[in-house]
Amino acid sequence: MSDVISFTLDGKPAQAEPGESIFQVAKRLGIAIPHMCSGLNQHYRADGNCRLCLVEIDGERTLAASCKRLPSEGMTVSSASARTTKARNMVMELLIADQPTRATGPDPQSRFWQMADQMGLTESRFGCRPQPDPDTSHPAISVNMDACIQCTNCVRACREIQVNDVIGMARRGARSEIVFDIADPMGTSTCVACGECVQACPTGALLEKSPPLNVDREVRSLCPYCGVGCQVAYKVADDRIVGMAGRNGPGNLNRLCVKGRFGLDYVHHPHRLTTPLIRRDDAPKVPDPQFDAGDWSKIFREATWAEALDLAASGLKSIRQTRGD
């Protein structure tokens, strides 16, 4: 007996694997369903908080969040009926009401505003809530809770993906809010600045303090800091690296640490070595407290990679010959 579930999606037959949600099936089939708190990547658990992915199921009184609802045999689902479109537009209007205006918000090009553009909505007829002040206490991350829609992507990013458990929810109902530790400023919390919450946030409520601007291309590469081999995407503007994002590699699954995400200054630092150096024969082998890292020519000379590797290999070989195995 097959475990595959057969159902109808937008008038066409569809099949779902066990545990596969309606949203996942639709995405696999190329059917676009608006979403904000799910679909970030396959490692994030769907929570159904934003309610943008509502679909209509024949025979059911209420609409269902497709990211949480699993199809059943013979079910008939509509992802684009007039009822679902009207409900989604209302949800998006309510979410827009919780935002600063696009012109004054922290990230006018955020995934939130891109989704609003796709839905043809740019403003809300509803009034906004009282807006909290920004938190600028963190050296790398700007906290703009006036743009928070409480999708809890950041909570799952911190608690379940990076397992740091710094970000959580406090209070109840309309007073619910995202907090760090016990409602501490982010800069004085136990945050390790991995930036996973920044990558997960769809609105700019959590944003790099120096976000990459005018990015013209992305270059896939590996993080150079340690041996884990985290796969990254460098954001490049005018041939300069201005940002970094994690990729879904086997060593990191989209995640990065503080060095991998924010440690970019070394790339364009004037003291960065880009050519192998070999100590000059006339250079004294004594500590020099006055050594200028920007002027190494008194001690080193430039060399080719072949020359440098041969010299290193011969040095190691001589040590082995004189000191033994």
Token couple for 249: 């590699």
Ranking 34-43, 62-71, 170-179, 203-212 by mean pLDDT, the lowest is 34-43
pLDDT by residue (tens digit) across 293-310?
Answer: 778 888 899 999 999 999
pLDDT tens for 146-163 read 999 999 999 999 999 999
Q: What is the pLDDT of residues 233-275, one digit of tens each?
A: 999 999 999 999 999 999 999 999 999 999 988 888 988 889 9
Cα distance between residue 79 and residue 237, in whole Å: 38
pLDDT of residue 149: 93
Q: What is the CA radius of gyration of the chain?
A: 26
Q: Is the pLDDT of residue 1 over 70?
A: no
More confident residue, 296 or 24: 24
DSSP 117-134: HHHT----SSPPPPPPPP
Nearest to 222 by CA among 267, 252, 196: 252
User: 112: closest CA among 167, 35, 219?
Assistant: 35
The reported pLDDT for the residue numbered 259 is 94
Residue 318 has pLDDT above 70, yes or no: yes
Domains of the chain, first to last: 5-97 (3.10.20.740), 141-208 (3.30.70.20), 217-268 (2.20.25.90), 277-323 (no CATH)
pLDDT at 325 over 90: no
From its phi and psi, is residue 95 left (phi > 0), alpha (psi between -120 and 50) or beta? alpha
Q: What is the pTM of this model?
A: 0.84
Mean pLDDT of 73-90: 97
pLDDT, position 270? 87
Residues 6+ apart with CB under 8 A from 249: 229, 230, 231
Using left for φ > 0, alpha for ψ between -120 and 50, and beta otherwise, residue 238 falls in left
What stretch of H or E contains 24? helix 22-28
